Amino acid sequence: MSAEPAITPELVAKHGLTPDEYERIKTILKREPNFTELGIFSVMWSEHCSYKNSKNELRKFPTTGERVLVKAGEENAGVIDIGDGWAIAFKMESHNHPSAVEPFQGAATGVGGIIRDIFTMGARPVFSLNSLRFGPITGDGASVKTNRRLFAGVVAGISHYGNCIGIPTIGGEVYFDESYNGNPLVNVFNLGILKHEQIARGAAKGVGNPVFYVGAETGRDGLAGAAFASRDLTEESKEDRPAVQVGDPFREKLLLEACLELLATDAVAGIQDMGAAGLTCSTCETASRGGTGVEIDLAKVPQRETGMTPYETMLSESQERMLIIVKKGHEQTVVDIFEKWDLPYAEVGVVNDDGMMRVRDHGKIVVEIPARQLADEAPLYSREAKAKPTPPQLDLAKLPATDNHAALLALLSHPSIASKNWVYRQYDHTVRAGTMTLPGSDAAVFLVREANKILAATSDCNALYCSLDPRQGARIAIAEAARNLACSGATPVAVTDNLNFGNPHNPENFWQLRECVEGLAEGCNAFDTPVTGGNVSLYNQSPAGAIDPTPTVGMVGLIEEEKHVTTSYFKAPGDAILLIGGFGDELGASHFLTVVHGQKVGPVPALDFAKERAMHDGLRALIKSRLIKSAHDLSEGGLAVALAESSLTHPNPPAQPLGAVIELGDTGLRLDQLLFNETQGRVVISVKPTDVATVLMLLELRGIVAKKIGAVGGDLLKITVGGETLAWPLSELKSAWYDSIAHAMHA
């Protein structure tokens, strides 16, 4: 075995630690660290594990509420009460850097990791979502080809892992923008169901209790992945392939079932996923939570490669592994269950009372670090924040005339707005037989049969808004998520988030982070949706620059009865179409300006939380009264896109087309301004003709603006404004919308 390298300032810097941090390490240890200890500090004090640049900001989130059973930051995932003794655990995490280097395995292991976070809580995972961002996939050039490769690889990786393990991927979002060239975002969400008494904890409790390693053998894949995720992507990042893990969904399925079976016994004192930082995080974090110490011997750790050093074994992020603190005397229970499921297992250590994370290699001590100071006392920073210059603002008088017929087709065919069927047709979204709305509606809806509960979930963020006005963009992300749930008949209960930003040492990037966090916090307080946890992913930038700030919001809601489940597509010819929330006139920051006129200019639309929440409450009340047949929020592309989508998204189109005839009258607005503005707080609904007067009256009583604008029917989307009429055959709209991504990927 070769000698460990000497600890030099260059080696410390290569591990991502500053001179001050290294001095702090020496103070904690009261000596110089050895090479393995240096690696351990580098991953545990990386942004990915310690949130050292963001934790002070995250404290601004609301994390308590009457439904909160496990708060954000306490465990691997938060837990929310959904009534009748049942609860949900859900969380969102990123695998951005690994997916940029190796898209298939990067995305696949991201899915595997988030699933482990959920069943570590004692919950059975029941569905997944994802939020994906890539550079443009249309046009020519090397970057476009790279983006297509990344997009195809990521979708294939998500599909492979989710389909093989048998957990449906039932919704999400995909956006394409130049800011993600070279740095895609892969944010994955999973939700699990459990009873209150089944909540498992990740603490090493009980001095003398044995520590078991279970699951796949440790290899050299994923070495120091947490540190890799905490630095900028560069042209040399392809050399970091060893930092990308390799996943095995079939092994994870066995691990899931074995762990849930074990948790149903009285044998477990604590359980922890070996996620970022692998054995390192699972040992020191469980010890820190338990106020104890953990000692392990690496000679007992199952390994699939020979000659692994302590550094490699401790920093490996091989997948499908767990650390379990077993109640003394129950060792045979673990042995029996893991032999039944044909999984490796080994008793590798013991819980002690000295507060130390101690690692031996064939009996020789190779690591000895105070667990709490390693896991929970990384240095925290409040970086310099500097507001970005005010972006250019729209001058409507100088906006060129628009071919509005062509503009709608251009918007519908843009990959960010176009149908995502190319993506979700690769996912098994019906396994477990709980999916109640097929992908493409405003929110995913899932029936959890064992609990007899109907859940709705959505993922939202308009990064263009956040790039122009970070605080307002984040506020709108929360409002849109809540609006999507309301359109589906759901009441929001809680939020998870994934904060994707550039290098925090750049004052403008850190200002964006701070503004977005404060905007999200405002929104969560406005909708009574505590944050259950999530992920911060910084250093998202390529040599071309930082990504647009992307604070992705995952929101979950409850639907009381199956008859309240509402979808976005028109249901029957002759139904009346109503617009809730007014025509709007805010064209700034719109996809229309970006796609049709090539302008990314402000201002971002205004938002009134009180009016927004009142509209959601009114919408849910109408849904519960069985007065609404479809509901679809107005977001990217505005009114014209929402109407087209309501005509096109029927999963099983009826024999008779469901176009629409719209009469908007004389509004005094430019036609493009009317059709494509993205004013917030608006929804298109369809109702029976006989219910129009009742619906309008009930909304008026709540102070909500609403107007009948047309009727469902025909094979056209026909819009008349004043004396001007525009008409699009549904076949033309569908060709632009449904086939756009497939055409781009096969170009």
Structure tokens at 601: 């200019």
pLDDT for 236: 52
Residue 653 belongs to a domain: yes
Instruction: Describe the strand order of the beta sheet including 453-460 as a list of residue ranges.
Output: 444-448, 453-460, 550-559, 491-500, 531-537
User: 196-229, pLDDT tens digit by residue?
Assistant: 999 999 999 999 999 999 999 999 876 754 444 4
Q: Among 69-83, 270-284, 715-729, whose mean pLDDT is lowest?
A: 270-284
For the stretch 645-680, pLDDT in tens is 999 999 888 878 899 999 999 999 999 999 999 999
What CATH number has the domain bearing residue 226? 3.90.650.10
Residues 554, 662 within the same domain = no
Best CA proximity match to 359, nearest among 300, 275, 308, 318 = 300
DSSP string, 184-253: -EEEEEEEEEEEGGG-------STT-EEEEEESPB-STTTTHHHHTTS---GGGGGGGGGS----HHHHH
- What is the secondary structure of 357-407 as a DSSP string? EEEEETTEEEEEEEHHHHHH----------PPPPPPB--GGGSPP--HHHH
What confidence score (pLDDT) does residue 242 get?
55
Strands 491-500 and 531-537: parallel
Instruction: Answer yes or no: 505 catalytic.
Output: no
352: CB partners within 8 A, 6+ apart: 207, 208, 292, 293, 294, 295, 358
Please check whether residues 462 and 544 belong to one and the same domain.
Answer: yes
643 touches 717 (CB < 8 A): yes
| Whether residue 492 sits in one domain with residue 409 | no
Strands 321-326, 268-273: pairing kind: antiparallel
pLDDT bin (cut points 50, 70, 90) of residue 277 is: confident
For residue 613, pLDDT beyond 50: yes
Is the pLDDT at 168 greater than 60, yes or no? yes
Cβ burial 603-633 (10 Å sphere, 16+ → b, else e): bbbebebeebbbbbebbbebbeeebbbbbbb
Domain ends where: 378, 409, 430?
A: 378
DSSP string, 545-569: EEPPPEEEEEEEEEES-GGG---SS
CA distance 742 to 747: 9
Residue 97 lies in a domain: no
| pLDDT value at residue 241 | 42
Write the DSSP symbol of residue 120: T
Between the CA of residue 528 and those of 408, 524, 613, 623, what are the distances in Å? 36, 6, 10, 21
434 and 549 within one domain: yes
In a domain, 222, yes or no: yes
- Indicate if 642 and 721 belong to the same structural domain: yes
Q: Residue with structure tokens 């509209």?
A: 615
Is 354 found in the same domain as 337? yes
Beta strands in 519-657 (DSSP E): 531-537, 541-542, 545-546, 550-559, 576-580, 630-633
Question: What would the mean pLDDT of 582-590 be, rounded to a whole number?
Answer: 98
- Given 15, 48, 97, 414, which residue is catalytic? 48
591 among known catalytic residues: no
Q: Specify the pLDDT at position 228.
A: 43
Q: Are residues 663 and 596 in the same domain?
A: yes
Of 378, 402, 437, which marks where a domain is finished?
378
Q: Tell whether 73 is covered by a domain.
A: no
Tell me the CATH number at 488.
3.30.1330.10
First-residue to last-residue Cα distance in the chain? 52
Distance CA 572, CA 554 (A): 32
243 and 312 belong to one structural domain = yes
Whether 69 maps to a domain, the answer reads no
298 and 394 share a domain? no
Domain around 392: 386-418+566-747
Pairing of strands 321-326, 210-215: antiparallel
Q: What is the DSSP letter of 355?
A: -
Say whether pLDDT at 233 is over 60.
no
pLDDT-derived band of residue 2, with 50, 70 and 90 as boundaries?
low
Q: Which of 15, 95, 429, 616 is catalytic?
A: 95
**Mean pLDDT score, 173-201:** 97
User: Residue 235: pLDDT above 80?
Assistant: no
Number of domains in the chain: 3
Task: Give pLDDT, residue 643.
Answer: 98
Q: What are the angstrom distances between the C-alpha of 298 and each of 621, 692, 735?
A: 60, 71, 59
Lowest pLDDT segment from 149-158, 219-228, 373-382, 711-720: 219-228
Tell which of 562, 589, 607 closes a domain.
562
Q: Is omega for the bond preceding 415 within 30 degrees of 0, making it cis?
A: no
Neighbouring C-beta atoms of residue 693, cutoff 10 Å: 10
Half-sphere exposure (CA, 13 Å, Cβ side) for 266? 1
Query: Contact, 361 vs 298, CB < 8 A?
Result: yes
Which pLDDT tens digit goes with each residue over 530-552?
Answer: 999 999 999 999 888 999 999 99
Q: Amino acid identity of 83?
A: G
Which comes out higher in pLDDT, residue 507 or 274? 507
Indicate whether 584 and 713 sit together in one domain: yes
Q: Place 3 in a pLDDT band, splitting at 50, 70 and 90.
A: confident
User: Quick one: pLDDT at residue 138?
Assistant: 97
| pLDDT, averaged across the chain | 95
Task: Write the DSSP string, 14-67.
Answer: HTT--HHHHHHHHHHHTS---HHHHHHHHHHTSHHHH-TTTHHHHTTS----TT
pLDDT value of residue 544: 86
Q: Mean pLDDT, to the nearest integer, of 281-296?
A: 95
Cα–Cα distance between 102 and 246 in angstroms, integer? 10
Statement to judge: residues 405 and 544 lie in one domain:
no
CA distance 570 to 562: 19
In sequence order, which residues have a C-beta less than 8 Å from that of residue 139 and are 6 or more positions away?
none
Q: How far apart are CA 322 and CA 345, in angstroms?
A: 10
Average confidence (pLDDT) over 511-526:
98
SS in 3 state form for 56-87? HHHCCCCCCCCCEEECCCCCCCEEEEEECCEE
Residues 6+ apart with CB under 8 A from 743: none
Output the pLDDT for position 1: 46
Q: Is 70 part of a structural domain of the chain?
A: no
Name the nearest CA neighbour of 217 among 40, 107, 345, 359: 345
pLDDT at 479 over 50: yes
Indicate if 188 and 214 belong to the same structural domain.
no
Tens of pLDDT, residues 402-461: 999 999 999 999 999 999 999 999 999 999 899 999 999 999 999 999 999 999 999 999
In a domain, 665, yes or no: yes
Of all residues in the chain, what percent carry a pLDDT higher than 70? 97
| Inside any domain, residue 71 | no
